[in-house]
Structure 1
Amino acid sequence: PASGVTVTSREAVSRAEGSCTSEVIEALPYLKKAYGSAMQKVLHVGPDSCTVVSNLLKEGKEAWGVEPYDLDDADSSCKSLVRKGFVRLSDIKFSLPYRPDSFNLVVVSDALDYLTPRYLNKTLPDLARVSTDGLVIFTGNPGQQKAKVSELPKFGRPAKLRSNSWWTRYFIQTGLTENEGPLKKFEQAASKGNYEPDCQIFHLSS
C-alpha cells in the first residue's frame, strides 16, 4: 500500500513544470539510506511542498516546507498543513524565517532554477545557515522539457536550466563543498534500486 501512496502523490505533481519536486518524492527512500538520522528534521523548499512534507510526516519525520510561489491551488490537506504552520509561503529571495541550525537537512527543488546569480548569492548561504547536516538540491537538467508557456506567469520568469558544470563551479565560488559521504551512499542506494533521476541532484555540506 505504501507504494500506492507514492504513485498518487507523484501524479499530483505536474510534470510540465520540468518538475523536480516529484523527483524528491521518488528519491526519498534513497535519501533516507544516505542521510539516516539526519532525515529526522527536514525542511523542503520548493513548489508543491505540501506533498513532500505530508510524505515525510506520514513516515514519522519532523518536516516543514517553504512554498516560494503561491498556494492558490492548494487542496484541503495542504491548507491544513499551512494552518498548522508546517508549510508557509515565503519568498526565498529574502532571509528564511528560521534560526540557524533549525533543521538537519534542507531539500530544495524547482526553486533555484528561477533565481538569478545575484539572488542565489544570498539564498544559498541562507539555506546552508538553517541546516546542520547538509543541503540536497534538485535542479532541472538543461535537456529536460521546458516549462509550458502557461506555467511561466506563476514563477514570474522562465526557469534557467543550468548545466552540471555551471552549478559545480558556482558552488565552489560560493564556498559550498560536496557532501561526499551521503553522496556516495545515495548513489549506491540509487543504483541498487535502479533509480535514475531526471533532475540533477547535488549533495552539499552546510
Structure 2
Amino acid sequence: GVTVTSREAVSRAEGSCTSEVIEALPYLKKAYGSAMQKVLHVGPDSCTVVSNLLKEGKEAWGVEPYDLDDADSSCKSLVRKGFVRLSDIKFSLPYRPDSFNLVVVSDALDYLTPRYLNKTLPDLARVSTDGLVIFTGNPGQQKAKVSELPKFGRPAKLRSNSWWTRYFIQTGLTENEGPLKKFEQAASKGNYEPDCQIFHLSS
C-alpha cells in the first residue's frame, strides 16, 4: 500500500484542491504571466501556497478562512509578518479594491451557502485587477466523510460544473478566455490533469 503523511491526509480530507493549486502553479504562471506578480490566495493551507510563491520572487498574501491551530513554525512566521491572516471570508476582505493582480481561491467556496457566496464572490473580484482563479471540488471525486470535516462545521457542498457556470453568469462574472486557453494548452503539454474543477474568471 501507499503510505500518506498525515499532512497530506489532512489536506485530502479538506477537499485537497489547495494541494492542486501547488501542482497548477507552473501552468498558472504560463497563463497569467506578469499578473502572477501580486497574488492573493484564499483557502486552507494558505501558508504553503504563499511560501511557494514568495520563494519564486512573487508578492503573495494569503487568507486562511478556518484556523491556524496546527500551523508549523514557518506558517506562524508568515502570519507574524502579515503575509497570511486568519479571516472569515463570509465578511468583506480587509483589502482595498484592486490590491492584487490575481486572486486564487481553493477549498473555500465549497463550504458557503449561495447567500454567502453572493457576498463573497463579488468581494474577491473587487480586490483583483486581472481575474479570479477558483479551484472547487468535483462532485463524486472526493469521498471525504463528514466526520473528517470538523474544521468547517459543515460538509462541503460539491457542486457540478454546470451549477458553477450558471452561478457565475448570474453573478455577472465572465470567463477569462485568454488565460483559460493558455492554461489549458500549458496543462495538456505538461500532461497535467486536475482533479478539481478550475474556473478562470474576469474580475
CA distance in 2, matches of 1:9, 1:51: 15
| TM-score, length basis structure 2 | 0.95
Count of residue correspondences: 203
C-alpha change, 1:5 and 1:188, in structure 2 (3 Å) is farther
* Residue pair 2:98, 2:126 contacting (<8 A) in 1 also: yes
Equivalent residue, structure 1, for 2:110: 113
CA distance in 2, matches of 1:53, 1:42: 9
* Match status 1:185 vs 2:182: yes
Secondary structure in 1 aligned to 2:62?
strand
Alpha-carbon RMSD across the aligned residues, in angstroms, is 2.9
Consecutive unaligned residues in structure 2, runs of 5 or more: none
Runs (4+) off by over 6 Å:
4-10
C-alpha change, 1:10 and 1:201, in structure 2 (3 Å) is farther
Counterpart selection for 2:129 from 120, 127, 132:
132
C-alpha change, 1:103 and 1:136, in structure 2 (3 Å) is same
* Residue pair 1:43, 1:63 contacting (<8 A) in 2 also: yes
* Residue pair 1:138, 1:201 contacting (<8 A) in 2 also: yes
Per-residue CA distance 1:22-47 (angstroms, 9 max, x = gap): 00000000000000000000000000
* Residue pair 2:13, 2:149 contacting (<8 A) in 1 also: no
C-alpha change, 1:5 and 1:41, in structure 2 (3 Å) is farther
Q: Percent identity?
A: 100
C-alpha change, 1:42 and 1:94, in structure 2 (3 Å) is same
Per-residue CA distance 1:103-122 (angstroms, 9 max, x = gap): 00000000000000000000
**What's the CA shift for 1:148?**
2.9
**What's the CA shift for 1:18?**
2.2
* Residue pair 1:17, 1:146 contacting (<8 A) in 2 also: no
Instruction: State which drifts further: 135-144 or 8-17.
Output: 8-17
* Residue pair 1:44, 1:108 contacting (<8 A) in 2 also: yes
Secondary structure in 2 aligned to 1:7?
coil
**What's the CA shift for 1:15?**
1.4
* Residue pair 2:11, 2:18 contacting (<8 A) in 1 also: no
* Match status 1:145 vs 2:176: no
CA distance in 2, matches of 1:116, 1:146: 20
